[in-house]
Structure 1
Amino acid sequence: MLAMNKIKIFGATMIAIAATVVVSSCHDKRSTGWQYAPNMYEHIAPEYDQKNNNFKDGKTAQLPPPGTIPVGFTRFDYPNTRAGYDQAAVEVKNMIAQTQQNYAEGKKLYESFCSPCHGFTGQGDGTVVQHGYPAPPSYSKGQSSRGGAMKDLTDGKIYHTITYGVNSMGSYASQLAPEERWKVIMYVHHLQTL
């Protein structure tokens, strides 16, 4: 008789638990259940486009303070003008190590980004020229559109040109990181001697 009561009590308990689960699960059809970390879903930080009373202008999205630079950004304080080009020609020098690995990486980058116009040997005979576009000057024999021989271009002149572009050549600042530009310049100096 005692065993029979234990079975009835156990059965009643299981029915009560099952009924509780069924009733609580049917409460809200839109509910996803328990949240493990509610602060991931209901964050207290305002969205960038929401009004924010913490700032005088009431905007959440604020401009960075003057003079700040993003993490990983390298400044190039020479304007995209002829004066900036001439100043860079004198002041800007390649500071990365002249190693075989950097030279090889520069060659690879040059072949990927520059050879379609300048050609693999820097003679201005790339594939775009074969399709009717104007040829850029040869690195070893040509004349720069800004004056002087292409073989005499300095680190600063080439860096300025890669960063801002000139004539038909657009800027490659978004395609080549500053260190990659320096590696390309190493290889261009080799092409100037051919």
Structure 2
Amino acid sequence: MKALYKIALLVTVSTVFTACFNKSKPNYQYFPNMYESVAYETYSESAAFANGKEGQLPAKGSIPRGFVPYEYPNTTEGYELAKANLKSPLTPEEVNLEKGTKLFNIYCAICHGEKGDGKGNLVKREKFLGVPSYKDRVITEGSVFHVETYGLNSMGSHANQLSQHERWQVAAYVMKLKSEL
């Protein structure tokens, strides 16, 4: 008897589902905007935004998550302040000279040389002249970090290529090179 009820239920359910189907007129669509989305032209004005022209801007004074603002300005005074006062936030356990070496060889050695003597490949080929040796410079970790962040003279900023943590790793390695020269 139970089998008969199951068969009757199956026939009823299948009849209900097939009876509503019409190939010329499809059934209801859930979330029709997902199936037939509105096409927007790239860089066109849109009523989706408050001013109609550009996307929503972040609130004034907001900073990206995980970003630590750098308080020293890109001036000679800022450089001197960083040289005198800025200290690495990395603990001795966090300083990874192996990683600093790799990053230095990728981004810095082409000009500064692998030993920090100012004799990198670009200097040897006379593409850049006057790259000083670290031995001849009065530098601190803070000044190295400041120059990596903003650049100095013909050296550009490396803030886009290296995170703050990586720049501190490179600064620690530069100070190690300076002590060896």
CA-CA distance at 1:79 after TM superposition: 0.9
1:23 counterpart residue number: 24
Q: Any conservation in 2 of the 1:93–1:155 contact (CA below 8 Å)?
A: yes
Partner of 2:7: none
Shift of residue 92, structure 1, vs aligned partner: 1.2
Residue 96 of structure 1: aligned partner: 90
The answer on 1:138 being equivalent to 2:133 is yes
Is residue 48–residue 60 contact of structure 1 (8 Å, CA) maintained in 2?
no
Residue 96 of structure 2: SS of its match in structure 1? helix
Residue 140 (structure 2) pairs with residue 154 (structure 1): yes
Task: Answer yes or no: is 1:115 the counterpart of 2:109.
Answer: yes
- Going from structure 1 to structure 2, the CA distance change for 1:35 and 1:93 (only over 3 Å counts) comes to farther
Partners of 1:120 and 1:50 in 2: CA distance: 53
User: Is the contact made by 2:84 and 2:142 (CA closer than 8 Å) also made in structure 1?
Assistant: yes
Shift of the alpha carbon at 1:61? 2.2
Alpha-carbon distance in structure 1 between the residues aligned to 2:107 and 2:151: 13
1:122 CA drift (Å): 0.3
Deviation of residue 102 (structure 1)? 0.8
Where do 1:160-179 residues align within 5 Å?
160-179=146-165
Find out whether 1:80 has 2:74 as its counterpart.
Answer: yes
Contact 1:118 1:125 in 2 (8 A): yes
The alignment yields a C-alpha RMSD, in angstroms, of 3.3
Give TM-score, length-normalised by structure 1: 0.68
8 Å CA contact retained: 1:48, 1:61: no
TM-score normalised per structure 2: 0.73
Distance 1:23 1:40 in 2: 21
Which residue of the partner structure matches residue 174 of structure 2? 188
Q: Distance in 2 between matches of 1:86 and 1:23?
A: 78
Give 1:40 deviation, angstroms: 5.2
Which residue number corresponds to residue 68 of structure 1?
62
Structure 2 unmatched runs, 5+: 1-10
User: In the alignment, does 2:47 pair up with 1:51?
Assistant: yes
Q: Deviations over 1:11-57 (max 9, x none)?
A: xx99xx69x554347xxxxxxx98675565669xxx9952357x5x5
Structure 2 counterpart SS, 1:162: helix
Structure 1 segments of 4 or more deviating over 3 A? 33-43, 57-60
Over 3 Å counting, the alpha-carbon distance change for 1:49 and 1:85 in structure 2 is: farther
The structure with the larger Rg is 1
Aligned length: 160
Percent identity over the alignment is: 39
> Is the 2:45–2:52 contact (alpha carbons within 8 Å) kept by the matching residues of 1?
no
SS in structure 2 opposite 1:23?
coil
Tell me whether 71-80 or 92-101 shows the greater mean CA deviation: 92-101
- Which amino acid counterpart does residue 23 of structure 1 have in structure 2? S
Q: Give deviations 1:60-114, integer Å, cap 9, x for gaps.
A: 6233222210112221011110111111122210111224861111111111110
